[in-house]
Amino acid sequence: MGSRLGGIFWSLIFLAVPVLGVATFAVAPSYNIWLPKDVSEHGSSIDSLFMFILALTGVVFIATEGLLFWFLWKYDAAKAKGPATYIHGSHTLEVVWTIIPAATLLFLAIYQMNTWADVKMRRPAMAPTVEVVARQFEWRLRYPGRDGMLGTRDDLFLTNDLHLPVDEDILVQLKSMDVLHSFFLPNLRIKQDAVPGMKIPVWFKAKETGQFDIVCAELCGWGHYKMKGRVTIESRADFDRWLEETYARQEATQPAPEDVVAPAAD
Amino acid sequence: MSTATASTLSHGTATTLPPARKPRPLAEFLSTYVFSKDHKVIGLQFLFSTLLWFLIGGLLALAVRWQIAWPWSDVPVLGKLFAQQGGQMAPEFYTMLFTMHATVMIFLVIIPILAGAFGNFLIPLMIGADDMAFPTLNMLSYWFMWPAFFAFGASFFVEGGAASSGWTSYPPLSTNVASAPGSGWGQTLWLIGLTMVGVSSMLGSVNYMTTIILMRAPGMTMFRLPMTIWAMFITAILQAFALPVLTAAGFMQLSDRTIGTGFFSPEGNVVNNAIAGAGGGQPLLWQHLFWFYSHPAVYIMILPAMGMVSDILTTFARKPLFGYRPMVYSIAGIAGLGFIVWGHHMFMSGMNPALGVTFMVSTMMIALPSAVKTFNWLGTVWGGRIQFTTSMLFALSFVSMFIIGGLSGIFMAATPVDIFIHDTYFIVAHFHYVLFAGTAMGVWAAIYFWFPKMFGRTMNEFWGKVHFFLTFIFLNGTFFTMHILGAVGFPRRLADAYHYETFHHLQPLNAFMTWCAIGMVASQAIFAANFFWSMFFGPIAGRNPWNSNTLEWTAPSPPGHGNFDFQPVVHRGPYEYSVPGADKDHLMQTDPPNALATAAAAAAH
């Protein structure tokens, strides 16, 4: 059934999968279609884990797709002579290709636990730097005022314009007013859903200054796409100056009402 | 071919009316083609319905792709249909589009086409039964799809449009009517439709389990079952155990929406400056309940395709399946582990990160049975005599594409990497490689393979291969590029992401993907033409056009009511191809034991 030419053609189509697949990943970084610049302290361990898994799966990808091509090429009914090999399996092979992937996967599982614990489980013992309250479709920010405590009358309120000092531990207290949102800082390798009714701590340390995106990564309604914020990472001095100026502006335009005490944050 | 002569015998009981009975053409037509209790007719009803919804789901996907490639530009055709949008797409319309694309594809296409269409058509034929154990239940399982079709279909035309809180329907967005424009009747109808699909699946599952356990032909032991049947059997078990949880969760969400119960709404929730409900609930509860079903559902959406592909690979490699028992055990392993990995959808949800670690380990481990299956498929192709039929090409592409979908899953299972790629196009690439490049390609392999049994004619091979070639090229153009898009962190479900500094340069890549998607959908016209032309004008197939081994190929094409014109008795496993010393290159399961063949088979073990 079928000609040898057909067999050659289809084998090559299947060979194109690993060839073009690898080429896509090889070319993408030169078009800047790759992991965005990482400015966080923990990000390098996430990125290197990504690259490690990419290399590991890449080897398996090339090997299995390559074998598939080779078998199609070699065992085309129009080319190979005689009947097919009459074999029902191999106990040895089954054991080998069960044990090796199992060990690899188990290693991978254990290997990554520390990074996960650093980013999500080992919370620094400190008061929150800022409270982020997600709301359709904006990020409401609340800095502790001069007293250094959230939930007091001198708190500083802002939307979408997050400023943070560089080279310092940051603890964000993440909340949501209405529906689910997700606090995604691509350049800081941070993502955490904001859940109404929950206060979720998020911590990181930025190692470079600059301005970066805050993206909402959990569907929150029709305006999900425009729930955009910016994070400015700056030196301690710049940060303090910004804090003073912004605070003075708030005082000038909207003095805190005497009889309204903001609900305690904690 | 021992049974070839039998095709000339008269056997159909449904087609010949008893002489005494008064002919009632309308009643006959209704009971034969509409409210039929024959598993083959029900299977074909499922097939036609799901293929129609496949087209609708594909067009919804194109509309989604249009907005991603050229945001806020006038939409062709659709822009005129929904004239109140003024030609361009409103963001709430976009959220509705991707919600309904996923809903249609998952609940009205993939699940019912695998279990409903192929499960129904193949199970009795492949185990040598005359029909399902419960024919009336079987008929109901199809007709319960219609309330779902109406609910989902009508939801497009109610005020506010269809559901638009994603196919995962996370509360409070889905439960709070004030939180989304489409969260009116659209979301309620969505929940009703979902429940009806669930009832249909449950009726099917009960039937499949009973039929496979009780109605196998003499000699058909469990370990002589073809992989298709093993996969359908284990899928039915998965379905039966996981579905009640989703149904319960669906009713809870329905009552949250309609009678203000607040299972999923926390205290003090404020939506659009108004207090939303009484509170006392937890949004994460829905996610746990939803994924407790919907993660096993991922396997419900792939295991039957794996089974069918195994059967097709052996037929066209003319070789026994490599590692039959490991293949069965790995399906069982996937199904078992499938119940304890749902939390990997919730790594970023606010769930306890320590719990995330346990789910990470179980998720890593579920990659193992999938790897074993892949290696065994490669082992099956190795040393074969490969016939490049259209069906074989689709089956081979299933293996090739499943490798990609399986490997990309490891990135997401790694919790630290998931922090970055969660809810980005990397995951969109991953599940389209499993569900489209995997399952849908498997379904096409199965359609080309079993079409002769369904309609007695074979499909055109040349146009079949053109269909395969174009689909294969365009699907990789559309979906492979999503991996690198995800590597940038490009988020899913955004109507327009180019105003972000991080993503502003990605529009040309998205335009390329949209062109590929348009090509992919357009290529299906070739399939549709081939399908309907071959139904009426294709070459007559005969009983066993592929020289395959399993029982359905001993029945006439198409089989009459009651399936077999003789009592099939099974003498061997389903994969005895190229047995040394046999007089032909395949020994059918019903071929009488031949001294020479048995001796050779014994020697090879």
B310 in Cβ contact with B565 (< 8 Å): no
Task: Give rounded-to-5 percent helix, strand, coil for chain A.
Answer: 45, 25, 35
C-alpha–C-alpha distance, residues B129 and B125, integer Å: 6
Strand partners, B491: B424
Please state, for a pLDDT cut of 70, what percent of chain B lies above it: 92
Structure confidence by residue, pLDDT tens digits, A120-164: 999 999 999 999 999 999 999 999 988 888 888 889 999 999 999
List of residues 6+ apart from B281 with CB closer than 8 A: B256, B261, B262, B263, B264, B265, B266
Contacts 24+ apart (CB under 8 A), A137-143: A137/A216, A137/A220, A137/A221, A137/A223, A137/A224, A137/A226, A137/A227, A138/A227, A138/A229, A139/A183, A139/A214, A139/A227, A139/A229, A140/A177, A142/A265, A143/A243
**Total length of chain A:** 266
Are A193 and B348 inside 8 Å of each other by CB? Answer: yes
Report phi then psi at B415, rounded to 5. -55, -45
Peptide bond into A257 cis (omega under 30): no
pLDDT of residue B346: 97
Cα nearest neighbour of B494 on chain A: A225
Distance from CA of B374 to the nearest CA of A (A): 9
Which residue out of B98, B99, B290, B388 would a mutagenesis test of the A interface target, given it has the greatest number of A Cβ atoms within 10 Å? B388
For A161-194, the pLDDT digits (tens) are 999 999 999 999 999 999 999 999 999 999 999 9
Residue A263 pLDDT exceeds 90: no
pLDDT above 90 covers a percentage of chain A that reads 88
Closest-CA residue of chain B to A56:
B407
DSSP assignment of B531-573 = HHHHHHHSPB--S-TT---SGGGGS-SS--TTS-SS-----S-
Is the pLDDT confidence value at B31 over 90?
no
| Rounded Cα gap, residues B116 and B40, in angstroms | 10
Amino acid B512: pLDDT: 97
Q: Is the pLDDT of residue B529 over 60?
A: yes
What is residue B10's predicted lDDT score, i.e. its pLDDT?
A: 41
For chain A, positions 91-150, list CB contacts with chain B under 8 A: 93-94, 97-98, 101-102, 105-106, 108-109, 112-113, 115-117, 119-121, 136
Q: Determine the pLDDT at residue B13.
A: 44
pLDDT of residue B8: 39
DSSP-assigned letter for residue B459: P
What pLDDT is attached to residue B487?
97
Task: Report the pLDDT value the prediction gives residue B86, as an integer from 0 to 100.
Answer: 66
Predicted local confidence at residue B21, as pLDDT: 60
Sequence-distant (6+) residues with CB within 8 A of A55 are none
The yes-or-no verdict on residue B5 having pLDDT over 60 is no
Q: Which tokens sit at A195? A: 């859940």
Label residue B84 by pLDDT band (50, 70, 90). Answer: low
Q: Are A212 and A187 in contact (CB under 8 A)?
A: yes
> Mutate which of A224, A230, A231 to disrupt the B interface (most B C-beta within 10 Å)?
A224
- Average of per-residue pLDDT across B464-488: 97
Q: Are B590 and B571 in contact (CB under 8 A)?
A: yes
- Measured in degrees and rounded to the nearest 5, phi and psi for residue B166 equal 80, 155
The confidence band for B3, taking pLDDT boundaries of 50, 70 and 90, is very low
Comparing B65 with B82, the larger pLDDT belongs to: B65
More confident residue, B262 or A1: B262
**pLDDT confidence bin for B495, thresholds 50/70/90:** very high
Residue with tokens 């409103």: B90
Among the partner residues B379, B386, B408, nearest to A93 by beta-carbon distance: B379
Q: What is the pLDDT of residues B422-458, one digit of tens each?
A: 999 999 999 999 999 999 999 999 999 999 999 999 9
Tens digit of each residue's pLDDT (9 = 90 or more) over A48-99: 999 999 999 999 999 999 999 999 999 999 999 889 999 999 999 999 999 9
**Mean pLDDT across B204-227:** 97
- What is the sign, positive or negative, of the torsion defined by CA atoms of B187, B189, B193, B194? positive
What pLDDT shows up at residue B4? Answer: 41
Number of CB atoms found within 10 A of residue B334's CB: 26
CATH, domain range A130-253: 2.60.40.420
Nearest-angstrom CA–CA distance, B66 and B60: 10
CA angle A101, A105, A107 (to 5 degrees): 115
Is it true that domain A4-121 has CATH number 1.10.10?
A: no
List Cβ neighbours of B598 (8 Å cut-off, separation of 6 or more): none
* A32 vs B: CB within 8 A: yes
Position with higher pLDDT, A2 vs B121: B121
pLDDT score for A253 = 83
A118 CB contacts (<8 Å, ≥6 apart)?
A: A42, A45
Q: How many Cα atoms within 13 Å fall on the side-chain side of residue B103?
A: 31
Burial of B319 (0-12, 13-18, 19+ CB in 10 A): buried
Lowest-pLDDT range, A127-141, B174-188, B336-350? Answer: B174-188
B220: nearest Cα among B319, B324, B125: B125
Reduce the DSSP state of residue B161 to 3 states and report it.
Answer: coil
pLDDT on residue B12: 42
Spatial separation of the C-alpha atoms in residues B369 and B400, rounded to whole Å: 16
For chain A, what are the domain ranges? 4-121, 130-253
Q: Does B271 contact A136 at a Cβ distance shorter than 8 Å?
A: yes
pLDDT in tens, B503-517: 999 999 999 999 999
Please state, rounded to an integer, the average pLDDT across all residues of chain B.
91
Q: How far apart are CA B379 and CA B307, in angstroms?
A: 16
From B119, B105, B108, select the one nearest B44 (Cα to Cα).
B119
Q: What is the mean pLDDT of residues B30-43?
A: 90
Cβ–Cβ under 8 Å, residues A64 and A101: no
pLDDT of residue B1: 36
pTM of the model: 0.93
Question: SS3 for B239-295, per residue?
Answer: HHHHHHHHHHHHHHHHHHHHCCCCCCCCCCCEECCEECCCCCCCHHHHHHHHHHHHH
Report yes or no: A226 at the B interface, CB cutoff 8 Å.
yes
Rg (CA), chain A: 27
CB of B435 closer than 8 Å to CB of B167: no
What span, in angstroms and rounded, lies between the C-alpha atoms of B418 and B352?
15
Mean pLDDT confidence for A190-207: 96
Q: B5 exposed, middle or buried (CB, 10 Å; 0-12, 13-18, 19+)?
A: exposed
Q: Encode pLDDT of B270-327 as tens digits.
A: 887 777 777 789 999 999 999 999 999 999 999 999 999 999 999 999 999 999 999 9
Select from B383, B211, B228 the least CA-distant residue to B306.
Answer: B228
Over 80: is that where the pLDDT of B17 sits? no
Burial class (CB in 10 A: 0-12, 13-18, 19+), A237: exposed
Q: What CA dihedral angle connects A110, A35, B490 and A108, to 10 degrees?
A: -10
Instruction: Give the residue, B32 or B304, on which the prediction is more confident.
Output: B304
Tokens of A172: 């964000």
Per-residue pLDDT band for B237 (boundaries 50, 70, 90) equals very high
Answer with the residue of higher pLDDT: B81 or B479: B479
Each residue's pLDDT tens digit, B238-263: 999 999 999 999 999 999 988 888 89
What's the confidence (pLDDT) of residue A169?
97
Beta bridge partners of B424: B491
Section B23-27 average pLDDT: 79
Answer whether residue B79 shows pLDDT above 80: no
Q: Is the pLDDT of residue A1 over 60?
A: no
Residue B208 has pLDDT above 90, yes or no: yes
Helices (H), chain A: 4-27, 43-74, 91-116, 236-253
Residues of A in contact with B481 (CB under 8 A): 24
Identify the band that residue B76 occupies on the pLDDT scale cut at 50, 70 and 90.
Answer: confident
- Is residue B6 scored above 80 in pLDDT? no
Instruction: List the domains of chain B with CATH numbers.
Output: 36-271+281-301 (1.20.210.10), 312-541 (1.20.210.10)
pLDDT at B546: 97
What was the pLDDT predicted at A141?
Answer: 97
The predicted pLDDT at position B231 comes to 98
CA-nearest residue to B347 within chain A is A192
CA distance B52 to chain A (A): 29
- Kindly tell me if the per-residue pLDDT of A258 is higher than 80: no
The tokens of B203 are what? 């009726």
Task: Region of B567 please: left (phi>0), alpha (psi -120 to 50) or beta.
Answer: beta
Q: What is the pLDDT of residues B346-381, one digit of tens each?
A: 999 999 999 999 999 999 999 999 999 999 999 999
Q: Is the separation of the CB atoms in A136 and A166 below 8 Å?
A: no
- Residue B234: per-residue pLDDT: 97
